[in-house]
Structure 1
Amino acid sequence: MKKLLSLYQNSIFFPSKPENPSERFIYFCNELQDEWIGIPKTDLNEREINLLQTFYTLVDFPSSTLHPTVREWHSFLFSNGPLPSHFLGNTLRIIQFDISGGRANQPEIESALKGFFTENVLIIWESGNRGIVVEAKNTFSLSEEDIHLMSETLESDFYLKVSFYIGKYYLVSERLPSKFLQEKEYFIFAITKLHLSEIYTFERVFPAYLAYQLPADLQKKVSQEIVGLFYEDHEMFSSIKVFLENNLNASLTAKKLYIHRNTLQYRIDKFIEKTGIDLKDFYGAFTVFLACLLYEQQN
């Protein structure tokens, strides 16, 4: 990032989040190292902005023209601001979204998102292509299937891929920002490391997140025999992983893999024969699924 300073003479480097950002600058962040750079808007064209977004996160700081409630929540969640008192005691969840495939038209995306929710929601943009939906708990809250449909509709209408992370419901309190930051860490991990879905939840992400955190020596102990088998037969790996992900439902697994059920059963039987692990046993299934995640990580 520091090399960009020589290319953009008027840019500014920040070792942490800028405290008083100027609306004359566009800010990019290296999230892994928490390094920031501000480049004057007049020094960048659209092509350069898109290129820089390939390497860094473009961060939009709240404008003074934002609705007071949105600005208040942006400050609370992202800048250690005060707790929005009029929401105290409410239960809500934060649905994160990330847009890839081009620069998002924020007003149009925001209007489309609000159309899916039955109640009023807050939409807060964190960057040019990433934001959150703050949704209070109610009888008509969207299900995971509804949000998957929303993702498909947005992709069809705007030709942009939109990934979502569905957060847990929490009481509004001083602890909410830290809980949100943890969910944000899981979401960033998912969209940078997994690329397997448009919809993520804690349950879907955490096993892979855990596998990535295992020390190398422990990874070898877990995966030595099973992963070796997957290297010999990648089709067996994909069949076993999808089978486990679909709660051992052979018909659904075969449908998702576009193979005959007998072909799937042959691969499952072959795996059980070679490993001696019963996939219908919880502990066996857990060990094999962890090995699947480690195999994906290595590849």
Structure 2
Amino acid sequence: MLRKLLSIYENSILFPNQPENPSEQLYIFCNDEENEWIGIPKTDISEKELTLLKTIYKLVEVQTSFYLSSKSGWSEFLFFDGPLPPYDSGTHFRFIQFQISSHDGNQFEIESALKGFFTEEVTIIWESSSRGIVIEEKKLISLSEDELISMSETFESDFYVKISFFIGKLHPFSHQLRSQLLREKEYFTFGITNLGNPNIFTFERVFPAYLANHLPEELKQKVNQEVIEIFHDDPEMFSTIKFFLENNLNASLTAKKLYIHRNTLQYRIDKFSEKTGIGLKDFYGAFTVFLACLLFEQNQDM
């Protein structure tokens, strides 16, 4: 009987025996007469369907394994002020937050795919139908930023959803992990809201714009008087200068990405320096102008 459900719920899994450590994203049903077990993703079942299935089959309450206890321990610690999960004090962790562009993605499939990219076991906690956290131990960290970009591109091609990641810092195992995650969540939310929707966010990429957004109005006006007024008069110069700074002052790479000749790029840079009196070849000048670019961009979005 349960086998017939496979044609209705294509993402379901038929088990030969009672599963020991099923995903929390599955409802497990049992047919006692035929000794069959099936797992159906919770996102695939409506409330009415769940009620109907429970009248026909037995909904199994699976015993929580050590792994699931550990996973539950993370949720209680991070979001409900619970005790620290059972790990050694010398352990280090990194949080990789992710957000999916669609609320209709199959959580079971997405979680399985995410785990498939990691060489070792990781803990994944879902905060909502479209946002979650991958928790890595230091010894398990295996994916670089470039590999996470490749993962994002794979999700877009295979699942038709866009996924963005925030790569957190490596933190020692302590009670401070909760506040550190909350701070990184704030940066991720700010980045998603204010910086478009790129594949990868990091503290280094988000914080300059975060800082610019929280500057006192008096300081914003001073930057406006020195630089931003020029961007209002020449939007093309703004996009050129910001792109140049974002590409680490690499003129050849910037010209190539902007599809302009290098001499054209140099002309615009020289024109900017002539009007503002600020050079872009030293750290202080580049920092000041990049801050002005961020402020100008924020004003455009208001």
Q: Distance in 1 between matches of 2:94 and 2:136?
A: 6
**Cα–Cα, structure 1 residues 156 and 207, in superposed 2: closer, same or farther, change >3 Å?**
same
Contact 2:120 2:140 in 1 (8 A): no
Q: State the 1:218 CA deviation.
A: 1.2
Contact 2:240 2:265 in 1 (8 A): yes
2:18 alignment partner in structure 1: none
Q: Deviations over 1:201-226 (max 9, x none)?
A: 11100110011001212101022231
Q: Distance in 2 between matches of 1:125 and 1:87?
A: 24
**Cα–Cα, structure 1 residues 269 and 196, in superposed 2: closer, same or farther, change >3 Å?**
farther
**1:16-95 map, 5 Å:** 67-95=68-96
Please, what is the CA RMSD of the aligned residues?
2.1
**1:268-283 map, 5 Å:** 268-283=269-284
Q: State the 1:146 CA deviation.
A: 1.1
Q: State the 1:88 CA deviation.
A: 3.1
Which amino acid is 1:275 matched to?
A: T
Q: Distance in 2 between matches of 1:156 and 1:87?
A: 39
Identity of aligned residues (%): 64
Q: Distance in 2 between matches of 1:163 and 1:196?
A: 7
For these two proteins, the number of residue pairs brought into alignment is: 240
Contact 1:101 1:159 in 2 (8 A): no
2:296 alignment partner in structure 1: 295
2:74 partner SS: helix
Q: Distance in 1 between matches of 2:95 and 2:148?
A: 13
Q: Distance in 2 between matches of 1:81 and 1:182?
A: 18
1:122 alignment partner in structure 2: 123
Q: Distance in 2 between matches of 1:95 and 1:290?
A: 27
1:169 partner SS: strand
Q: Distance in 2 between matches of 1:73 and 1:140?
A: 18
2:105 alignment partner in structure 1: 104
**1:147-186 map, 5 Å:** 147-186=148-187
TM-score by length of 2: 0.75
TM-score by length of 1: 0.76
Q: Distance in 1 between matches of 2:47 and 2:140?
A: 48
2:256 alignment partner in structure 1: 255
Contact 1:99 1:129 in 2 (8 A): yes
1:243 alignment partner in structure 2: 244
Q: Distance in 2 between matches of 1:282 and 1:113?
A: 39
- Structure of higher CA gyration radius: 2
Q: State the 1:102 CA deviation.
A: 4.4
Which amino acid is 2:127 matched to?
A: E
**Cα–Cα, structure 1 residues 259 and 196, in superposed 2: closer, same or farther, change >3 Å?**
farther
Contact 1:89 1:173 in 2 (8 A): no
1:190 alignment partner in structure 2: 191
Q: Distance in 2 between matches of 1:102 and 1:76?
A: 26
Contact 1:91 1:137 in 2 (8 A): yes
Q: Distance in 2 between matches of 1:103 and 1:124?
A: 17
Q: Distance in 2 between matches of 1:64 and 1:207?
A: 47
Moved more, 134-143 or 221-230: 134-143
Superposed structure 1 runs of 4+ greater than 4 Å apart:
63-66
Q: State the 1:136 CA deviation.
A: 1.3
Q: State the 1:87 CA deviation.
A: 4.5
| Structure 2 unaligned spans of 5+ | 1-45, 49-61
| Structure 1 unaligned spans of 5+ | 1-40, 44-62
Q: State the 1:198 CA deviation.
A: 1.6
Q: Distance in 2 between matches of 1:200 and 1:74?
A: 23
Which amino acid is 1:118 matched to?
A: T
Contact 1:76 1:177 in 2 (8 A): yes
